Amino acid sequence: MSKDRTLSDKRTSNQLPKKRVPEVRSRRTSIKQSEMKKSAPKTEFRERLIARLDQAEVPINKRMMYVSELTGRAVQTVSRWFDADGPGLPDLESYARLCEGLHCNADWMLGLATTPSLVPESHGGAENETVAWMVELLDELRGEFQDCELMRMSGDEMAPRIRDGDHMFVSRGTEKVFGNGIYVIEWQDRRVVRKVEHRIGQGVVLSCENPQYAECLVKDAAAARRMGLRVVGKVNGIIRAVHFWAH
């Protein structure tokens, strides 16, 4: 009786399904590979951002401030894009401003294109025509504003004359105010655009086109130094895309 029971127990144990050993190692490997794929664009962006800044001869200790001015974002926010251990990606608006300011292809910044050129490769037909008028426009702008640096307006202080997002052609050949006009000025640790006007017996008045902002009077050079004012350049022109919609 006991012998039959023992044989029965053995048969039952042989019929029980074997427990499957979880493939922990393979799952960890796949998770790690997935994380590497997700981080690849961020790493590519950081490397190409630094490469583009080096091409523009931006000093290492001024990279973050330069990018901050291009995008209008705080230096603390910009610093995350330069983090060597876990670089982040900018928001879409900052990314667009960054690519425009550095004159490079948005796809190239993420490693999705082989060249940073803004002009697409032509393959004939309609694309050739598109490239032709783009080149013609760029040549005309280069002739008109050859010695200028392209900057982007941030804010509504100069609206409607210069609107938020407009591209400005700024002459960097001077660090002083020569005549009335519109200037880019460093003031209170940020760059602003102001209309500069000399008033006899008063001094220099900094004002905005937007009436919601008050004007500022600078009596003399000593007052300008106390206020931390520095002329970056004079605005010689702007460019914006204006769409006409059917009514």
Give the tens place of pLDDT for each residue, 14-57: 555 555 545 545 555 454 444 444 456 778 889 989 988 988 88
Q: What CATH number does the domain containing 55 carry? A: 1.10.260
What pLDDT sits at residue 140?
80
Domain holding 235: CATH number? 2.10.109.10
Regions in the chain scoring below 50 on pLDDT: 3, 6-8, 21, 24, 29, 31-38, 121-122, 247
Instruction: Report, in angstroms and rounded to the nearest whole number, the Rg of the chain calculated over CA atoms.
Output: 30
Q: Is the pTM of this model over 0.95?
A: no
Rounded to whole angstroms, the Cα distance separating 240 from 100 reads 13
| 158 occurs within a structural domain | yes
Q: Do 156 and 226 have their domain in common?
A: yes
Domain count, the chain: 2
Q: Which of 240, 221, 238, 239 is nearest to 230 (CA)?
A: 221
Q: For residues 119 and 135, is the Cβ–Cβ distance under 8 A?
A: yes
Q: Would you give the end-to-end CA distance of the chain in angstroms? A: 99
The reply to whether 121 falls in a domain is no
Domain with 85, as residue range(s), is 33-109
Residue 37 CB-density burial (10 A; 0-12 exposed, 13-18 middle, 19+ buried): exposed
Report the C-alpha gap between 136 and 115 in whole angstroms: 21
